[in-house]
Structure 1
Amino acid sequence: MEDEVERRQIQQILELDNEELQIEEVESLLESSDDDRDASGVVSPDDFTFNTQLTSLHSYLGEVDDTRHRSAFWDGGAVLNLPLFYLEGVVLFPEATLPLRVIEPNFVAAVNRAMTQADAPYTMGVVRVYRDSNDGPLRLAKVGTTAEIRQYRPVEDGSINVVTRGQQRFCLRRCWIDAEGAPFGEIQIIEEDIPFRTPRDAYAKLVPLNNRRGQQILSLNALSHGGRNDENDSEANSEESFENELTQTERRIHQSAIGACYDSDRMDESTSSADYNKLSESDSQSGSPCGTDSTFLGSSPSGHEKQVRNTDLGIGTKSMARQVAEPRSHLSSTLSRAFAPIWVYRMYDSFCLAQKAADMWKQIVGTPSMDGFVKKPDLLSFYIASKIPVSDPTRQELLEIDGVSYRLRQEIELLERLDRVRCKICKTVIARRSDMLVMSTDGPMGAYVNSYGYVHEVMTFRKAKGLATRGRPHKEYSWFPGYAWTIINCASCDVQMGWLFTATNEKLKPKSFWGIRSCQVKDETR
């Protein structure tokens, strides 16, 4: 069945390529402005006839053979020796596709070694390389992703066409060149954390903080006299049930929060109810059942989750305690509440964060339901990181973050701040976030390789401005079947920004769109 579908898709590609070239005047396409954008930024079905599945086939590589091999996943902490493939301006994430046209002899040797090695067959490590300055030496990033070779075909000229898929993150411990000239590296697989979910009954049926010690004393007195306090027993059981569902790390954080609130109750008897009501009101107006605090963690936790949580949230400090402590009153001694406000838990609930990130992403690109991703926050965090229209250094930072909730929080912050796309050199605005266009089933951003072996990560936009075309349109080696490509430069600084793609026949819609290289954009905030 799959072979039949693939044959039909290939036939579609051939039909598109055989169409007569009918490219509209390019000058008229360069007049795009912000004034004629529609409100949603999403192309309607009537204006879209292109089959986005054709793009993900990477048919411009020619025939490639399916290796029909799926490599196993390694446990976190495993140390391996793998052939390395390093690329400038490209960041590979787990589950992302990376096509390669391998021409340089050392990388050809690396791919051949990956195909035949016994310990990790069909697998190599992909690492981003970068320069600190324009004329500085190339440096290797410390974190990369293993890539599984899924399709492979040697070419008569000695090159190799390959399609790979990202698998697991790793830390690069050391690298060398082997006897055949292939780059190799000793890598250590990064152990991914389990997505954090707020425990059941985390903020319900709990003993009031400011009355808890007194109730504990009463409970002890009752037990010492052989008596029984049903209300206290129920509350104690609720607490025990809650704490039993916490991990050891979460239990320490939880107990730290209790101690902080006890100190607050002793030291600050005069906390005003207005402050507490204001805090509750701000939480209730978050706009989503899974609303989250917009505070941005400026750095990766890097394995210090407890320290970051305690510090960033203020848990264990008097200032945080004063904020969350409810003022003493008759109600506070009778109503149960959580050890911390609900928004504290939501800030790190991976599933709440995943829902918010998915909703924001859908508003931007108009993709179908992402319910499947919401159920797997770790995969969603990698998916958004691989598609978000930001520079490759920022995407490398996202790759290096340890912790699903931290990565999702940073992505939400980036999506909230992101509005305009600018040229990295002259800062000229060339597009808006709402103008992103999905031209592939892989999303609005993907990796493509040209005939010279250079890999480009390209964002697609339906509109752009401040760009000028160079040369004539070409049909050969087009990443989007049925479209011809023309090089585009920034009109202000003349740096190459990407390509203008124009339909080669009247049946295709959209008639044109823009492909912008991610390595040439500047991260932009409102």
Structure 2
Amino acid sequence: MADDMDDEDGRMQEEEGREDDGDDPEELDGDLDDDIIQEDEDDDSPAEEDDDNNEGLLRRLRLHIRGRLDRDRVQKRPTKVTYDASLPTTHSYLGNDLEEYSGRTVLDEDSYVSLPLLHLPGVILVPGQTLPLHLFNQRIISMMKHVIQNNRTFGMIHDGHNMQPGHDESPANIGTTAEIYSAKEEEDSGVETMRIKATGRQRFQIMETRRQADGILIGRVRIITESVLPDPLEGARCSSHDRLRLIPPLKQAKGVERDMAWIKQRRKRYLRPAQWTWIPPWVYEMYDAEVLMLHIKTELKSWFEDSVKFDTVPSKPSDFSFWVASNIPLADSQRLKLLEINCPVQRLRRELDILRKCTLLHCTECGLDIANKSDVFSMSLDGPMAAYVNPGGYVHDTLTLYSAHNLNLVGRPTKENSWFPGYAWTILQCRHCTNHMGWKFTAVKRKLKPEMFWGLTRSAVQPGFKDTQDQLHLI
């Protein structure tokens, strides 16, 4: 009986989050017909106009499914991004009339609480990440009303029915609390809807679940405590020498040279007591949160090309590790594994290993090469990847890139409900398997830089890793 109720809940979630990507089917068909005609005109080979020709009919049908080629994959990268990166963080496409809520709810660590649980296809919330929602399911809207009247906090868990083939489909027992900070109820043609903005707060472990008479899933959860490792050299240090551990500011050097000089100074001052132990200093550096954060920032510079201002990212190791987890394109199983790690140092070590190995981005369905890691950049203050919701209620973790290849365009550009104000979007498909990959964004104003960029949904891409034999494989 419990399984049947879970299946029914999953179907209701799919109805709520239908992935129509904000397109009107009739309007899209018209656009595709125009695109087919344009593609026929651009084709160098002579076109057959005979409607009775089966080969011509199949060719037109294939173009109807695949769309037209994206021929603008090569562009000169702008030396300066003029776009206001704060605009996407407001999620203005949800409207500016949402009611704001002040204050913050912090649940006691290692405590047991009861929370209403929500799971949506392809959504794994990370602490610190913003979650926009556009709800149509009346049962969930009723749940959110009750949540707002109390502490504005609910639990976000992974939808096990949306796992990729070959993975365990059992529900994950790790989730993240989401606190609502703005919401708006309204009626659309007599149907009640709700728009919500929430923020991921604390991780929790599900101990047990039950379903209420109204169908709401309630979980008894334990708030997870972050395990902070003690200083391994605490017993080897003299407290009277603490003043000698201060690292002077490095003003002359820049970039990598400055980072390496900082590490040498830290090794000289902070890790000097390691010389009095049996373990060499470099071993302690492997578990030094500050050094790990510096190495990760160095790797991210090759991804984002200095488009991310690291002075705006979290400075605490725990918060920084969650920020990294929410901004690298991982499969659901990989993101869940990072959430299961309770120690920030171990989480940083795992993320650094992923960043060093990843070289390419591939299509999840067919493995076709889509982009290089150097193409990733940030169009938002939240980072290169953030969660956005389309008019149908489906939430996409979207990664922004300077360029991408092996993609087809479907439909014409439109500014309606654009996640990036000032840009029009066009649907992208994989050229090989026609899997939905994301959107191409084109500036509607001449002075905007970049003039175009690509937004790939996290569910459609996987990082490509290079093994010891210099061959690529996917996680």
TM-score, normalised to structure 1, is 0.65
Shift of 1:521: 1.2
Structure 1 equivalent of residue 145 of structure 2: 112
| 2: CA distance, partners of 1:439 / 1:372 | 14
| 2: CA distance, partners of 1:445 / 1:497 | 14
Structure 2 equivalent of residue 355 of structure 1: 294
- What SS does the corresponding residue of 2:155 show, helix, strand or coil? strand
In structure 2, do the counterparts of structure 1 residues 198 and 368 end up closer, same or farther at CA, with 3 Å as the change threshold?
A: farther
| 1: CA distance, partners of 2:262 / 2:96 | 49
Structure 1 equivalent of residue 182 of structure 2: 151
Shift of 1:510: 1.3
The residue type equivalent to 1:60 in the other structure is: Y
Shift of 1:133: 5.8
| 1: CA distance, partners of 2:200 / 2:397 | 15
Q: Does the aligned pair in 2 maintain the 1:354–1:374 contact within 8 Å? A: no
| 2: CA distance, partners of 1:336 / 1:512 | 53
The residue type equivalent to 1:358 in the other structure is: K
The residue type equivalent to 1:153 in the other structure is: K
2:84 to 7, 27, 51: 51
The residue type equivalent to 2:458 in the other structure is: S
TM-score, normalised to structure 2, is 0.72
Structure 2 equivalent of residue 69 of structure 1: 102
Structure 1 equivalent of residue 282 of structure 2: 343
Q: CA RMSD in A?
A: 2.9
Query: Are positions 1:174 and 2:174 aligned together?
Result: no
| 1: CA distance, partners of 2:261 / 2:108 | 36
- What SS does the corresponding residue of 1:397 show, helix, strand or coil? helix
Shift of 1:399: 1.3
Q: Does the aligned pair in 1 maintain the 2:440–2:454 contact within 8 Å? A: yes
Structure 2 equivalent of residue 315 of structure 1: none
Shift of 1:159: 0.9
The CA deviation string for residues 61-113 of structure 1, in whole angstroms up to 9 with x for no partner, is 11343433323312221111111121221221111101000111222122112
Number of residues of Structure 1 aligned to a counterpart in Structure 2: 370
| 1: CA distance, partners of 2:234 / 2:315 | 17
| 2: CA distance, partners of 1:147 / 1:68 | 14
| 1: CA distance, partners of 2:120 / 2:275 | 56
Q: Does the aligned pair in 2 maintain the 1:463–1:513 contact within 8 Å? A: yes
The CA deviation string for residues 210-244 of structure 1, in whole angstroms up to 9 with x for no partner, is xxxxxxxxxxxxxxxxxxxxxxxxxxxx6x999xx
Q: Does the aligned pair in 2 maintain the 1:91–1:395 contact within 8 Å? A: yes
Structure 2 equivalent of residue 461 of structure 1: 401
Shift of 1:512: 1.1
Shift of 1:370: 2.7
Structure 1 equivalent of residue 12 of structure 2: none
Shift of 1:152: 0.5
The residue type equivalent to 2:301 in the other structure is: K
| 1: CA distance, partners of 2:332 / 2:261 | 31
The residue type equivalent to 1:127 in the other structure is: I
The CA deviation string for residues 179-202 of structure 1, in whole angstroms up to 9 with x for no partner, is 333222211100112265453584
The CA deviation string for residues 478-516 of structure 1, in whole angstroms up to 9 with x for no partner, is 111111111110001111111111112222221111110
The CA deviation string for residues 134-181 of structure 1, in whole angstroms up to 9 with x for no partner, is 599964321111011001000213111000001000011222322333
In structure 2, do the counterparts of structure 1 residues 364 and 137 end up closer, same or farther at CA, with 3 Å as the change threshold?
A: closer
- What SS does the corresponding residue of 1:52 show, helix, strand or coil? coil
Query: Are positions 1:475 and 2:402 aligned together?
Result: no
| 2: CA distance, partners of 1:159 / 1:381 | 35
| 1: CA distance, partners of 2:85 / 2:70 | 22
Q: Does the aligned pair in 2 maintain the 1:107–1:183 contact within 8 Å? A: no
Matches within 5 A, 1:96-107: 96-107=129-140
| 2: CA distance, partners of 1:345 / 1:401 | 20
Structure 2 equivalent of residue 164 of structure 1: 198
| 1: CA distance, partners of 2:72 / 2:96 | 39
- What SS does the corresponding residue of 1:87 show, helix, strand or coil? coil
Structure 2 equivalent of residue 390 of structure 1: 330
Query: Are positions 1:514 and 2:462 aligned together?
Result: no
| 2: CA distance, partners of 1:456 / 1:200 | 45
Structure 2 equivalent of residue 81 of structure 1: 114
Matches within 5 A, 1:323-472: 337-365=276-304, 366-367=306-307, 369-370=309-310, 375-472=315-412
The CA deviation string for residues 27-46 of structure 1, in whole angstroms up to 9 with x for no partner, is 7853536xx787xxxx421x
Q: Does the aligned pair in 1 maintain the 2:366–2:432 contact within 8 Å? A: yes
- What SS does the corresponding residue of 1:394 show, helix, strand or coil? helix
Structure 2 equivalent of residue 30 of structure 1: 71
The residue type equivalent to 1:156 in the other structure is: E
Structure 2 equivalent of residue 142 of structure 1: 173
| 1: CA distance, partners of 2:327 / 2:164 | 26
Unaligned runs of 5+ in 1: 1-24, 205-237, 243-285, 292-334
- What SS does the corresponding residue of 2:156 show, helix, strand or coil? strand
Query: Are positions 1:494 and 2:434 aligned together?
Result: yes
The residue type equivalent to 2:149 in the other structure is: T
In structure 2, do the counterparts of structure 1 residues 344 and 37 end up closer, same or farther at CA, with 3 Å as the change threshold?
A: farther
| 2: CA distance, partners of 1:437 / 1:346 | 29
The residue type equivalent to 2:215 in the other structure is: G
Structure 1 equivalent of residue 35 of structure 2: none
| 2: CA distance, partners of 1:355 / 1:524 | 23
| 1: CA distance, partners of 2:455 / 2:288 | 36
Shift of 1:456: 0.6
In structure 2, do the counterparts of structure 1 residues 150 and 195 end up closer, same or farther at CA, with 3 Å as the change threshold?
A: farther
Q: Does the aligned pair in 1 maintain the 2:359–2:463 contact within 8 Å? A: no
In structure 2, do the counterparts of structure 1 residues 468 and 70 end up closer, same or farther at CA, with 3 Å as the change threshold?
A: same
| 2: CA distance, partners of 1:135 / 1:336 | 48
Whichever of the two has the greater Rg, that structure is 1
| 2: CA distance, partners of 1:449 / 1:123 | 20
| 1: CA distance, partners of 2:360 / 2:167 | 29
Query: Are positions 1:126 and 2:159 aligned together?
Result: no
The residue type equivalent to 1:32 in the other structure is: R
Q: Does the aligned pair in 2 maintain the 1:82–1:185 contact within 8 Å? A: yes
| 2: CA distance, partners of 1:525 / 1:354 | 21
The residue type equivalent to 1:128 in the other structure is: H
The residue type equivalent to 2:73 in the other structure is: S
- What SS does the corresponding residue of 1:398 show, helix, strand or coil? helix
Q: Percent identity?
A: 34
Unaligned runs of 5+ in 2: 1-38, 40-66, 242-258, 265-273, 467-475
- What SS does the corresponding residue of 2:379 show, helix, strand or coil? coil
Shift of 1:389: 2.2
The CA deviation string for residues 434-462 of structure 1, in whole angstroms up to 9 with x for no partner, is 11121111110000001111001110111
